Structure 1
Amino acid sequence: MESYAQRGLLPAGLRDALPPAAEWEAAVGERLLACLAGHGYQRVKPPLVEFEATLLAGAGAKLAPQTFRLMDPVSQRMMGVRPDITLQVARIAETRLADAPRPLRLSYMGQVLRVKGTQLRPERQFAQVGLELIGAATRAADIEVATLAAEALAEIGVPNASIDLCEPTLVPAVCRGLKLDDATAEAVRAALDQKDAAALKAAAGKDAKLLEPLLRLAGPAAEVGPKLLQLDLPAEGRTMLADLVAVADAVRKAVPGILVTIDAAEARGFEYQTGVSFTLFARGVRGELGRGGRYDSGGVEPSSGFTLYLDSVIRALPAPAAARHLYISHGTPRAAAKAQRGEGWRTVQGLEPVADGRAEAKRLGCSHVLIDGRIEEV
């Protein structure tokens, strides 16, 4: 027979959420969704499991190493447990909502499961909250998505938050403009990703002087943005930088309480992003709170969106105030308990008579007790 310790053991990266943490996480998620709904984003709920061929189609193939697989005993086809919700929403837009007017605004909240965690995110199961703006590939769309991500964090009270903006397709575009061959372009991109000036010089040769500012110009948008606009890059690169700086300026003006930074050439972790992208952080919190931007869903529609990792967002928030629980003795009329709930109390009704109501209230974790119609602290 298994011991208590064995029965309570969970696989690495999985955990039980206990009171009051589970309720707090759900409440924060609903507040985030309410913020998104206020901007016209309608909620969808994709299934936890899909056929593997559908879940990992197109851009989803990049998530294959993180996907748990199982056999459907009904259809005898392989299925996958979703490691991310974004591409599921894209599928819904392209199929079930194909005739809905564009741009399409959708939001979601749900659990995801991944094969492996990372050093910064060891959790393998966690909740995602996010939105997708589908059918628009404009600067205005990028601004709306990035601004809403920052605004949602501000609205729920995340202190010391920041949003770091980048353009993952900038370096390939600049390399095309400079007519660099594929091997050289890949070496340049790797050097910029690693912030390695020596490797950049070795890879780019005479073009290193032109590319070097992309390596060092990273920091607060108010300082870095104007300098990026002055760079003498190929035309496509200048257009991308203009969009990037415009998005950063719009977020700064719309959400003044958040720090906006730019690292234009950053590309790591944005494998399927196709335009202005961003990562969200909070000072003192391990890992990122979320990320987003314009992306390739594998379909024909341009899309932009963001995903917040709810467990990380929770770590960035101040602890919630303890809920008020009121012990009500066995036999108290239900109307009396209902009246107290109307006043904001959470009532705990005794199931049998007890000699000491105060002691019972304390044993059950209640802060107050109802005695002879009066509420008293225990």
Structure 2
Amino acid sequence: MTDDIPNPALLPAGLVDALPPEAEREAALVEALMATFAGHGYERVKPPLLEFEDSLLAGSGAAVAEQTFRLMDPVSQRMMGLRADTTPQVARIAATRLGAEPRPLRLSYAGQVLRVRGTQLSPARQLPQVGIELIGAESAAADAEVAVVAVEALAAVGVADGSLDITLPTMAPALLDHAGVSPELRRRLARALDRKDAAAVAEAAAEGGAALAGLSPLLHAAGPADGALAALEAAHLPPAARAIADNAAAVIAAIRALAPGLRITLDPVEFRGFQYHTGVAFTLYGPGNSGEMGRGGRYEAQRGEAATGMSLYPDAMLRAAPQPAPMPRVFIPAGSDPELARALRAQGFATVAALGPGDTPGRLRCTHVLEGGRAAPLEGGRAAPLEGGRAAPLEGGRAAPLPKKV
């Protein structure tokens, strides 16, 4: 009968336990990101995990409705949703609890989100999410600030030399609206643009007449920002599309004024995955092949307020960031002076006290041992002297610092 009892370590697909040292590393990374945001005036909010469905999925929340777990509240008998994205919650807080506060609002958040499905490349369904929202400012400078603060936050956790990809999710719809194409042709063009199928775009655009003649050149213009901006400048665009292009140029100029060395790419007709964005959209990439570090852009918050936000992905950053040196662990034998252990903790050590005769430095994974009033490093399970043949002495009641690992 015991064979029928499920393994207690078995978890649902896409859910995992975070173990030492990764759980601590993720927490430290999140707090480093939040410290960067705070340095730019972004104030932290903490929305609940669950909300009533009608408020959670209002506005931009509708874009993640299919990814939202739902359950019945036994108290109110109303349907609730478990957040799949924190941005809609921050927009709700801004419109309600902070509705009377002066604009613009600079808000930050950190927490877990849960989604109905993962993806083939990222099967996890519970994810850490960290981000910022700038609400109540509609300008190129606001968009640029959000992008540059996110880049700075990545650098603060050791993910440097990344790039910023900018897309214009409203450009293709503006061109299609101006052309007045049929719904069927619109679907074909949207699919071809989504798949970057240049031949299909050219064939479908030809059916749309002169109004869509610029789609193919803009598709091929994707790449470094300067080349894409030149293609937009040379294109014959209707007024609505021209305004989108001019705004993109202004945002890129504002970003370069703040971060001159940042690599920026621009794709004028990409609109995949940004259903609720009303202006420029951003994707942050890490160095090399480390992948996406975050996404964001301009959208309309509740009450019609202009907003720009960026959500960062700590799980991706953990793969790209350098591995930090572990905190040294000092074994404290039973009966040791607690003041010595307190001094070691103040110096940056973790102290691990022996609680029974079976506790040993090796068993408790210690790197040092308190020996004769000194924090001595362990080598092969025994206290080993430092350079000069002496263990690290306590200086003025404090442990002398160990050499930093390079």
Higher deviation after alignment, 38-47 or 276-285: 276-285
Task: Give the Cα–Cα distance (whole angstroms) in 1 for the partners of residues 253 and 372 of structure 2.
Answer: 61
Please tell me whether the aligned partners of residues 166 and 277 of structure 1 are also in contact (alpha carbons under 8 angstroms).
yes
CA deviations on 1:5-50 (whole Å, 9 max, x unpaired) are 8111111111111111111101111111111111111000000011
**Counterpart check, 1:329 vs 2:329:** no
Task: Give the Cα–Cα distance (whole angstroms) in 1 for the partners of residues 96 and 8 of structure 2.
Answer: 43
**What pairs up with 1:243-282 in 2 under 5 angstroms?**
243-256=247-260, 258-282=262-286
The higher radius of gyration belongs to 2
Q: Which runs of 5+ in 2 are unaligned?
A: 379-406
Aligned residues: percent identity? 52
* Residue 29 to residue 296, structure 1, CA distance change in 2 (3 Å): same
CA deviations on 1:246-291 (whole Å, 9 max, x unpaired) are 3234334433554211112111110111100011122455652110
With normalisation by structure 2, the TM-score equals 0.87
For this pair of structures, how many residues does the alignment match?
374
Residue 139 of structure 1 is matched in structure 2 by 140
Residue 55 of structure 1 is matched in structure 2 by 56
- For 2:80, what is the secondary structure of its paired residue? strand
CA deviations on 1:184-230 (whole Å, 9 max, x unpaired) are 44433332222222222222223353221111011122443333322
Please tell me whether the aligned partners of residues 285 and 315 of structure 1 are also in contact (alpha carbons under 8 angstroms).
no
Instruction: Output the amino acid matched with 1:16.
Output: D
Q: Which runs of 5+ in 1 are unaligned?
A: none
**What pairs up with 1:168-207 in 2 under 5 angstroms?**
168-205=169-206, 206-207=209-210
- For 1:164, what is the secondary structure of its paired residue? strand
- For 1:299, what is the secondary structure of its paired residue? helix
Please tell me whether the aligned partners of residues 121 and 287 of structure 1 are also in contact (alpha carbons under 8 angstroms).
no
Give, in angstroms, the shift of residue 312 of structure 1.
0.9
**What pairs up with 1:59-78 in 2 under 5 angstroms?**
59-78=60-79
Residue 30 of structure 2 is matched in structure 1 by 29
Task: Give the Cα–Cα distance (whole angstroms) in 1 for the partners of residues 375 and 362 of structure 2.
Answer: 14
**Counterpart check, 1:237 vs 2:241:** yes
Instruction: Output the amino acid matched with 2:168.
Output: E
Higher deviation after alignment, 258-267 or 154-163: 154-163
Residue 369 of structure 2 is matched in structure 1 by 369
Residue 151 of structure 1 is matched in structure 2 by 152
Instruction: Output the amino acid matched with 1:72.
Output: D
- For 2:264, what is the secondary structure of its paired residue? strand
Residue 106 of structure 2 is matched in structure 1 by 105
- For 2:303, what is the secondary structure of its paired residue? coil
Please tell me whether the aligned partners of residues 59 and 88 of structure 2 are also in contact (alpha carbons under 8 angstroms).
no
**Counterpart check, 1:350 vs 2:354:** yes
CA RMSD of aligned residues (A): 2.1
Instruction: Output the amino acid matched with 1:342.
Output: A
